[in-house]
Every structure is written in C-alpha cells, then in structure tokens.
Amino acid sequence: MPIQEGVYGLLAEFNTPTDLVHATEMAHRAGYRRMECYTPYPVEEAAEALRFHKTRVPLMCLCGAMMGLITGYGLEMWVNIWGYPLNIRGMPLFSWPAFVIPGYEWTILFAGLSAAFGMLAQNGLPQLYHPLFNAPNFANGATTDKFFLCLEAYDPKFDRAATRTFLEQFSPVSVVEVDL
C-alpha cells in the first residue's frame, strides 16, 4: 500500500508493560513489521516481541580495536625505525616488546570510541526532531509511566482504518494518529 501523505503512523498508549508486549506480539503475528515500542524503562520482553536482537555495535567495536592496534603499532614502528631511529646500546630498531603497551592503549582507545560513536550512529542520534513529539499523550507519559506502541505508515500492511481497529481490540488508553 502506498505511504499516506502526512501520516507517520498510529500510536497506542498502554498502562502496563504486559499489555504493550501482548499488543506487540499480536501485531507481529498479524504481519506488521515497521513498529516501535516506547517505554520509560527497558522492557526486555518488548524487545523480544519486536524481534530486535541484532546490532552491529560489537562488529564496529572489533573493527575499531583492530584499527587501533594497527595504528598504534604502525606509529611506533614508523617513529622508531624510519622517523627518528635511535641506536641505543646496539639494540635493534624493531623491538616489538617495547611496542606492546602503546599498541594495547591505542586498541582500547579506538575500540571505545568506535563503540560509542557506532552506538550513536545505529540509534540515529542526535535526532532533534521526531514525529512522535507531535503526539499530545506521548510528551506527557513516555518518560514517566506510560507504554506506547507505534505502527508506522511505512509498513506495507498499514491502513488507517484497519490498523486503528486492530489496535483498539487490545483496549489501549488511547489510539492517536501521528502526523509527520
């Protein structure tokens, strides 16, 4: 179905996380795939109901760690062999035991930075505007005591009337149409 002009989706408000998880599981069984849960604290069951468990942050952290190791080790090699070689007591210029600690430190630095920036990028942050900020009930309860399920209009199964009827069968506090 084509995306409807000016509509982001339908937002259902629930009082308990159990109701939210039940509605999310039923929405997934009904064929909705573009949906999101908003809770004031982490609800692991909601993440399971959304089938959200894959993230690329560990891979980004590993790639950052490898880049840090190569960068630290390469910098030490360049400085000690080609950039500013020092002949001290006839020891070889390439002495790998001296390179272990700086290489380790660069590995930790790059892994931490890539994990932090990778997490921000995967979350789409910083995000100064989101269509849900326009929903009147979302601003008051999303961070305190309410639980929300948003079925997005980008979903191929989304139809205003049918989706509203589907959400209302779970007895939510309210179902609000969210504008873009």
What are 105-154's pLDDT values in tens digits? 999 999 999 999 999 999 888 888 889 988 888 887 788 889 999 999 99
- Alpha carbons within 13 angstroms on the beta-carbon side of residue 30 total 21
70 and 157 both lie in a single domain:
no
146 and 119 both lie in a single domain:
no
Cis peptide before 156 (omega within 30 of 0): no
Write down the pLDDT at residue 171.
92
Whole-model pTM: value is 0.73
50 and 64 both lie in a single domain:
no
Does residue 100 form part of some domain?
A: yes
Confidence of residue 4 (pLDDT cuts 50, 70, 90): low
Q: Strands, E, within the chain: which ranges?
A: 7-14, 35-38, 147-152, 174-179
Which of the 8 DSSP states describes residue 34?
Answer: S
141 and 119 both lie in a single domain:
no
Q: Which of 79-86's residues contact partners 24+ apart within 8 Å by CB, and which partners?
A: none
Number of structural domains found in the chain: 2
pLDDT at 3 exceeding the cut of 70: no
17 and 49 both lie in a single domain:
yes
Confidence of residue 54 (pLDDT cuts 50, 70, 90): confident
63 and 47 both lie in a single domain:
no
Mean pLDDT of 44-54: 87
Give the phi and the psi of residue 80 in degrees, each rounded to 5: -80, -25
17 and 30 both lie in a single domain:
yes
Domain with 95, as residue range(s), is 57-123
Distances (CA, A) of 62 to 54, 69, 76, 85, 122: 16, 11, 21, 32, 15
CA 11 to chain centre: 20
41 and 89 both lie in a single domain:
no
Does residue 2 form part of some domain?
A: no
Residue 76, judged by CB atoms within 10 A of its CB (0-12, 13-18, 19+), counts as: buried
